[in-house]
Structure 1
Amino acid sequence: MSDTGTKYANDATPPTGTGFEPAGGGRVDDAKQAVRDNASKLTAQAGDKAREYAEQGKAKAYEMLGQLSRTIEDAAQQVEEKLGPQYGQYVRSAAGQVMTLADRINGTDVDQLADDVRGFVRRSPGVAVGAAATVGFVLARLVQAGIDGKPD
């Protein structure tokens, strides 16, 4: 075997000066670039859609927390009548805290909220799991109450 033949067999590089060009080499590079471009566009579209859904979720969370705060505030009067003014004040304070949370969520950018949640989960994974379970339980109860409360 000649030295040129060995070089060609080992690294798939044609001998210099032969004028050899791989068939469709330019088309393969163009196709790779087109795939990269399309993947970038799809990634950007998916990110935009996810951000849109997150904004909608944020608006719904604000609305639901506002309703929860009003419900707690309404219950404060009953608590006060049954348990005393001190406990009624505790309930009103809880309603205020829920509304403060709702306002904070509403006034914060979705990306910042996501960063805050990630940081919280990293710092306190047990609390995060407990909070998620509690929220799930409350939501299930609210949905069940809504279904049970509908007239036939």
Structure 2
Amino acid sequence: MVEPTVPTSDSTETAGTENAKNHFAKAVEEAKAGAQALAEEYRGKLNKTTGDLSEEAKSRSEEAKGKANAFAADAKVKATEYANEGKARTSKAIVGLSKAIDENVSLIDDKVGKKYGDYARTASKSMQSAATKLDEKTLDELGEDAKQFVRTSPGMAVGMAVAAGFVLGRIFKGK
């Protein structure tokens, strides 16, 4: 009869080690698969959140642009109103000065002479003409006239700007 083979401790250990290795390899494979699935899930969530935040940012950006455009339009309307008001006041002041000269022209004739009285009359008529032209023109037309003046007489324009700056500086220096 044949004697049954009794596994030696070496072959049992080898079979046990192989089983443990296989078990461990399967556990590692399952862990990797789980980690990959979890990573994919979080990538999806991240992409969705990023998309949501991007849409929110675009929405708020468009809203801010709309508000800024509305504010700019309101500011333009107000600036135009103030400019028209300033134009009307300037015209009124020129007419007032012209009338004051007209009222005092006889005094100039008597005190200084007829020649200087004629100068005052001419200046008064020029002022009235300028006030009338100022009333008739729009702000855009006045802007174009100013640009044309600067192009044709840049030296005079700079001199007038310096003089206006000096006068404004003196006016606001006291305040």
Q: TM above 0.5, one fold?
A: yes
1:77 alignment counterpart: 106
Identity, % of aligned positions: 30
Matched with 2:93 is: 64
- CA drift at 1:68: 0.8
1:76, distance to aligned residue in structure 2 (A): 1.8
The structure 1 residue matched to 2:54, chosen from 19, 22, 25, is 25
For residues 62-92 of structure 1, the C-alpha deviation after alignment (integer angstroms, 9 at most, x for no partner) is 1100111012222321222233323312210
Shift of 1:122: 4.2
Which residue number in structure 2 is paired with residue 48 of structure 1? 77
Tell me, in whole angstroms, the C-alpha distance in 1 between the residues paired with 2:64 and 2:165: 42
Which residue matches 2:119?
90
Give, in whole Å, the separation in 1 of the partners of 2:68 and 2:61. 11
Q: Which residue of the partner structure matches residue 20 of structure 2?
A: none
Equivalent residue, structure 1, for 2:4: none
- Which one-letter code corresponds to 1:117 in the other structure? A
Looking at structure 2, the residues matched to 119 and 43 of structure 1 have their Cα atoms a distance apart, in angstroms, of 28
Secondary structure at 1:29's aligned position in 2? helix
Q: Return closer, same or farther for 1:135/1:102 CA change in 2, 3 Å cut-off.
A: farther
- Return the TM-score normalized by structure 2: 0.59
1:112 aligns with 2:141: yes
Greater fraction helix = 2
Aligned CA distance change for structure 1 residues 68 and 134 (closer, same or farther; 3 Å): farther
1:39-79 residue CA offsets vs partner (Å, 9 max, x unmatched): 11111011000001001101110110011101222232122
Task: Tell me: CA distance 1:90–1:59, structure 2 relative to 1, closer, same or farther (3 Å).
Answer: same
RMSD: 2.7
How many residues were matched structurally?
Answer: 122
- Deviation per residue, 1:100-127 (Å, 9 max, x gap): 0011111111222123223323443432
Give the counterpart letter for 2:94 in structure 1: L
- Bigger CA radius of gyration: 2
For 2:138 and 2:76, locate their aligned partners in 1 and report how far apart those are by CA, in whole Å.
15
Inter-partner Cα distance in structure 1 for 2:60 and 2:147: 38
